[in-house]
Amino acid sequence: MIALAESGRVYENEPILFSPVPSRLALHQLMVLPSRPGRQLKVNVWRNHSIEPLLPLCAPYFAFAGVEVDWWLSAYDDSLCFAGHQQAALELLWLDASSHFAKMSDHECVTWLRGRLFALRRASSAPIVVVCLAQQVDRTRMLAACVESVGDAYWADIGVRCESAGRPVVDQRSASIAGTPLNARMHALLARDLACHWIAGAMLPPIRAVVVDLDNTLYRGVLGEDGACGVELTVGHIALQESLRALRAQGVFLGLISRNEREDVDTLFAQRTDFPLHLQDFSALEVSWGDKAAALMRLAERLRIGGDAILFLDDNLGELVEIESRLPAVRTVHAMADAELTARALNYYPGLWRWRTTAADRQRIADFAANEIRQSVLDSCGEGIEYFRNLAVRVTLVYGDRRQVPRLAELCAKTNQFNMTLKRLTEANLQALMADVDVSVCSISLSDRLTESGIVGVLVSSRHGNRLVVEELCISCRALGRRMEDVMVLGALHHLPTLDKCADIAFPVVAASRNAPARDWLKQTIGLPVRPGSGVYVAPAKLVTDFCPPPGIILETLL
Amino acid sequence: MTNAPLLSTELLPIFRAVLRRDFAFEQDIRRRETVQWDSLRHIELMFAIEDHFEVQFSEHQLATLDSLYAIAAALGELRAP
């Protein structure tokens, strides 16, 4: 057993966890091993059939992700009255449609479920995941659409999963002892889906970048010894490279760290046109003979993401141990000799799979590339009017548009570096705030001649007498570093309908290790002597009322 | 004649893993005498055995098999040519 004494991460478990069909016995044997304490999250399970056979099989996957789940299980309740509800990080509806729903027409079923979901939504702002055994295809589609019409709610399709595994959904043979007709031969596969995709995709912060080694990771062989034409692209490595490309298309950065000569790496990608990956697919490269941990730190800084948003793949266990020791927040996966196994580990890594890919996600890679160009414009024009005119920068402020709530909630959930109060407002929270006349919710969009970045910021403010309070302020990291923070924030405050007759503006701050950029901006903007810690910082409203965007920037508002 | 002793040896690791107890070799394990063998662990045990040996017990067997030797005997019959 290869165990890292300090961190407890055991790479030898990966072949068990990510085998094509996980063995129930092997998963049980993993459970008896000590695991490192993880982040604790509570999940409420509202059900009308048993989920207990799957929960022990989920545990090794949650342990792999560094998460401890505290399951709260409701009584079996066909009516879904949500009795005894208490707050949790996620609401899981675990339903067998063959009992209760079978008596309803399609219309009755959809109407009933929508009513129950909105009732749950009134009680809880947590994400809702619905996993339902429903064998009628048309009804399944209607129920899925119904669930997805509720904010921050997701439908997990068991039928599609079973079909792809070539196994029936139900097995009445075991229904009486197991308390569920769900086919026992699907339990291990569905436990993996539940832990690594359905729950992780709704609850865990997303992984923003996958950084890979080259030799014996993206191909079999060593570039420096075998040469560009001598390294072998196996079927498994094709699958791995294609998985990486698919992640890139969803807005996950790809990074490359390799101990090789840069010239050899350039030649490799130029000559190996059979590789699914191209050199330009990588947003950041660190090719040198230096220290990989230091290279990873430089890469993270360049991508403007924290270590806990990075997943690092390497075939060398020594390198992984070194990264774990020096950068404990970085996630790691051992790139195995069987690259199909590695591809599956990537596909199932908790935090990589997301329920939805938004336009903002798909735009992320292009935005980053555009930032590199912006830097060169800055280097040639210097800061000032010419820089903004060259780029034709436009900031658009929209106040109170409910259609933008999903994107604004995504910003609140995902933004770490420029996030002033870390409130993590959900879609339900934002909808409720928009209904309050003393509260303003503003979206901030950014574009220039290089990219349409879309909505990159959210500012939520409330008026208390003659004081304006900035309740939440988040700006996406891809909008940072463009010299636009003042325009976005002060511009959004300047045009607030609720600013009228305010004497001062309060900035509550919750200090965390990751939001130093937000706090540094506040320090500079309102003239604090040091970077602010947690507390409330007040500035005169004049700071905002007198604000005027620099020439060269177009600032437009939609109230 | 079933190969019950061999199956008991193959079954023992499954019992140990699911019931989280280090059982000795060459003795039967009975549900009524094993406090860890509750209803939830029984489900896990039977499903893990089915998964490992690629067999399917009948509904009746799933509910009533209640000892290592009984399960071994049932497995032997299922796997007999």
The whole-number average pLDDT for the span A422-450 is: 93
In this predicted structure, the answer to whether residue A428 has a pLDDT above a threshold of 70 is yes
Q: DSSP states of B4-63 as a string?
A: HHHHHHHHHHHHHHHHT--PPTTS--BGGG-TT--HHHHHHHHHHHHHHHT----HHHHH
The answer to whether A21 contacts chain B (CB < 8 Å) is: no
Cα dihedral: A485, A488, A489, A492 (round 10): 170
Query: Rounded to whole angstroms, how far apart are CA atoms A36 and A298?
Result: 28
The answer to whether A16 contacts chain B (CB < 8 Å) is: no
Interface of A with B in 33-52 (CB under 8 A): 52
CA distances to A214, A235, A351, A376, A464 from A252, in Å: 18, 23, 11, 24, 41
The whole-number average pLDDT for the span A168-195 is: 92
Q: DSSP states of A55-116 as a string?
A: HHHHHHHHHHTTEEEEEEEEEE-TT---TT----SEEEEEEETTTTGGGS-HHHHHHHHHHH
pLDDT tens digits, one per residue of A201-253:
999 989 999 999 999 999 999 999 999 999 999 999 999 999 999 999 999 99
The whole-number average pLDDT for the span A299-306 is: 90
Query: Rounded to whole angstroms, how far apart are CA atoms A445 and A397?
Result: 6
Q: Residue type for A501, please?
A: K
What pLDDT, on a 0 to 100 scale, did the predictor assign at position A379? 86
What pLDDT, on a 0 to 100 scale, did the predictor assign at position A8? 45
Query: Rounded to whole angstroms, how far apart are CA atoms A402 and A408?
Result: 10
Query: Rounded to whole angstroms, how far apart are CA atoms A238 and A71?
Result: 39
Query: Rounded to whole angstroms, how far apart are CA atoms A543 and A502?
Result: 11
Burial A417-450 (b: 16+ CB within 10 A, else e): bbbbbbbbbbbbbbbebbeeeebbbbbbbbbbeb
Q: How far apart are the first and last CA of chain B?
A: 12
What pLDDT, on a 0 to 100 scale, did the predictor assign at position A388? 85
CA distance, residue A10 to nearest chain B CA (Å): 19
Handedness of CA B18, B21, B26, B29 (dihedral sign): negative
What pLDDT, on a 0 to 100 scale, did the predictor assign at position A498? 81
pLDDT tens digits, one per residue of A338-364:
999 999 999 999 999 999 888 878 888
Chain B residue with CA closest to A187: the answer is B47
CA distance, residue B56 to nearest chain A CA (Å): 9
Query: Rounded to whole angstroms, how far apart are CA atoms A250 and A361?
Result: 6
Query: Rounded to whole angstroms, how far apart are CA atoms A322 and A11?
Result: 14
Confidence of residue A5 (pLDDT cuts 50, 70, 90): very low
**Pairing of β A284-287 and β A253-258:** parallel
In this predicted structure, the answer to whether residue A4 has a pLDDT above a threshold of 60 is no
Q: Is A496 left (phi over 0), alpha (psi -120 to 50) or beta?
A: beta
- Mutate which of B42, B59, B61, B65 to test chain A, going by most A C-beta atoms within 10 A? B59
The whole-number average pLDDT for the span A531-558 is: 92
CA distance, residue A112 to nearest chain B CA (Å): 32
Give A177's contacts in chain B (Cβ within 8 Å). 39, 42-43, 46, 59, 62-63
The answer to whether B18 contacts chain A (CB < 8 Å) is: yes
Query: Rounded to whole angstroms, how far apart are CA atoms A257 and A290?
Result: 10
Beta-carbon separation of B47 and A28 below 8 A = no
Cα dihedral: A207, A353, A204, A54 (round 10): -140
Query: Rounded to whole angstroms, how far apart are CA atoms A411 and A433?
Result: 16
The answer to whether B62 contacts chain A (CB < 8 Å) is: yes
**Structure tokens that stand for A225 in this block:** 């010894």
Q: Is A455 left (phi over 0), alpha (psi -120 to 50) or beta?
A: beta
Confidence of residue A33 (pLDDT cuts 50, 70, 90): low
Closest CA to A210 of A366, A104, A345: A345
Beta-carbon separation of A185 and B14 below 8 A = no
Mean pLDDT score of chain A = 91
What pLDDT, on a 0 to 100 scale, did the predictor assign at position A35? 54
For chain A, the farthest-separated pair of C-alpha atoms sits apart, in whole angstroms, at: 75
pLDDT tens digits, one per residue of A371-421:
888 888 888 888 778 888 888 999 999 999 999 999 999 999 889 899 999
Task: Give every CB contact of residue B60 below 8 A, 6+ residues apart in sequence.
Answer: none
Beta-carbon separation of A25 and B59 below 8 A = no
The whole-number average pLDDT for the span A49-55 is: 95
Beta-carbon separation of B44 and A56 below 8 A = yes
The answer to whether B42 contacts chain A (CB < 8 Å) is: yes
Beta-carbon separation of A187 and B47 below 8 A = yes
Residue scoring higher pLDDT (B58 or B79): B58
Query: Rounded to whole angstroms, how far apart are CA atoms A360 and A525?
Result: 28
Beta-carbon separation of A177 and B13 below 8 A = no
Q: Residue type for A12, please?
A: E
Beta-carbon separation of B17 and A23 below 8 A = no
Q: Report yes or no: B10 and B72 within 8 Å, Cβ to Cβ.
A: no
Query: Rounded to whole angstroms, how far apart are CA atoms A126 and A279?
Result: 40
**Structure tokens that stand for A208 in this block:** 């923003």
What pLDDT, on a 0 to 100 scale, did the predictor assign at position A37? 61
Beta-carbon separation of A174 and B62 below 8 A = yes
The answer to whether A56 contacts chain B (CB < 8 Å) is: yes
- Distance from chain centroid for Cα A257: 23
The answer to whether B56 contacts chain A (CB < 8 Å) is: yes
In this predicted structure, the answer to whether residue B4 has a pLDDT above a threshold of 70 is no
Using a pLDDT cut of 90, give the percent of chain A over it.
Answer: 70
Handedness of CA A252, A253, A257, A258 (dihedral sign): positive
In this predicted structure, the answer to whether residue A3 has a pLDDT above a threshold of 70 is no
CA distance, residue A335 to nearest chain B CA (Å): 27
Q: Residue type for A101, please?
A: F
Query: Rounded to whole angstroms, how far apart are CA atoms A201 and A275?
Result: 29
CA distance, residue B66 to nearest chain A CA (Å): 13
pLDDT tens digits, one per residue of A70-128:
999 999 999 999 999 999 999 999 999 887 777 888 889 899 999 999 999 999 989 99
CB pairs under 8 A between A and B: 57
CA distance, residue B2 to nearest chain A CA (Å): 23
What pLDDT, on a 0 to 100 scale, did the predictor assign at position A490? 95
**Pairing of β A209-212 and β A253-258:** parallel
- Distance from chain centroid for Cα A202: 8
Query: Rounded to whole angstroms, how far apart are CA atoms A95 and A227?
Result: 55
Beta-carbon separation of B48 and A187 below 8 A = no
CA distance, residue A50 to nearest chain B CA (Å): 11
Query: Which among B47, B56, B63 has the least Cβ separation from residue A53?
Result: B47
The whole-number average pLDDT for the span B35-48 is: 95
Chain A residue with CA closest to B20: the answer is A32
Using a pLDDT cut of 70, give the percent of chain B over it.
Answer: 95
Q: DSSP states of A15-30 as a string?
A: HHHTSSS--HHHHHHH
What pLDDT, on a 0 to 100 scale, did the predictor assign at position A559? 76
pTM for this prediction: 0.80
- Mutate which of B47, B54, B57 to test chain A, going by most A C-beta atoms within 10 A? B47
In this predicted structure, the answer to whether residue A287 has a pLDDT above a threshold of 70 is yes
Query: Which among B17, B18, B63 has the least Cβ separation from residue A176?
Result: B63
Confidence of residue A34 (pLDDT cuts 50, 70, 90): low
The answer to whether A5 contacts chain B (CB < 8 Å) is: no
